[in-house]
Amino acid sequence: MEILITSKTHKGKAACVGGLIVSNNRFVRLLNPGNWDQYADTDFDIGDIWDINFTEREDVDPPHIEDVIISTKKFLRKVDNFTNFIENSGIQIFRGSPNNIFNGLLGWTGSGSGYIENRNNLPQNSVGFWISDKDLILDNDEKYYLYPTPNSFSRAKRFRYVGFEPKKQIIPSGTLMRISLARWWKPEDTDMNERCYLQLSGWYDLQNTVQRSDDKNDDLPF
């Protein structure tokens, strides 16, 4: 089955690799036997198309329904223009304000982080594509990309970046990006409900922008 590699994100010292089945636009997350993530030096690269046979993971926890276990794999080819490929695939792309991501199901913390909390009203998937109507700016700590608000009294929406690609100072409006929800998590010794926090997996076909130093984001809660 042909699968397009759409993301490679930090998960501790491993790599969480996401894909899209070309024939039916199904999102998948590619695990090794034993439900293990890929090694950080995996030969899966974003934009590759692989022929992959897999089995379904049985113990999925919605909205993280994408997990599959690789049986065999073979590299086929690379996509030249990722954005055009996705835009011509017919798959849904969230557009505009962050409030449109996951069809408006996100809540937002006081610090500007998006999350899902209601297990009775979940998005169909834990991943998706988004095109913002505004530039995203890397914050001074180089941990979050900020979506600006109309006035100084409103807090910016923020996106924790977890991808492998070197950070850019600005992600221009109109850039195709992949967003995802972290696994269910809550701080220890609290009464709050578990949440899936929104994060930025990466972007595509972004050229000639200023790079900043990378970090490994090993402290994420999943």
Examine the pLDDT at 187 and tell me if it is beyond 80. yes
Confidence of residue 206 (pLDDT cuts 50, 70, 90): confident
Instruction: Indicate the residue type of 162.
Output: V
* Architecture in CATH for domain 2-80: Beta Barrel (2.40)
Average pLDDT over the chain, rounded to an integer: 91
Q: What pLDDT score was predicted for residue 40?
A: 93
Using the structure block, give the residue that is written with the tokens 């794999």.
73
Q: What pLDDT score was predicted for residue 218?
A: 42
- By mean pLDDT, which of 10-14, 101-105, 176-180 is the weakest? 10-14
Model confidence pLDDT, tens digit, residues 69-108: 999 999 999 999 999 999 999 999 999 999 999 999 999 9
- Name the DSSP letter for residue 79: -
Model confidence pLDDT, tens digit, residues 39-55: 999 999 999 999 999 99
Any idea what the Cα angle at residue 83 is, between residues 78 and 86, rounded to 5°?
85
Examine the pLDDT at 201 and tell me if it is beyond 70. yes
What is the Cα–Cα distance from 154 to 215, expressed in whole angstroms?
28
User: Which residues of the chain are in CATH 2.40.50 domains?
Assistant: 2-80
Examine the pLDDT at 191 and tell me if it is beyond 70. yes
Instruction: Indicate the residue type of 83.
Output: T
Examine the pLDDT at 31 and tell me if it is beyond 90. yes
pTM score, whole prediction = 0.89
Q: What H or E segment, with its residue span, contains residue 87?
A: helix 82-87
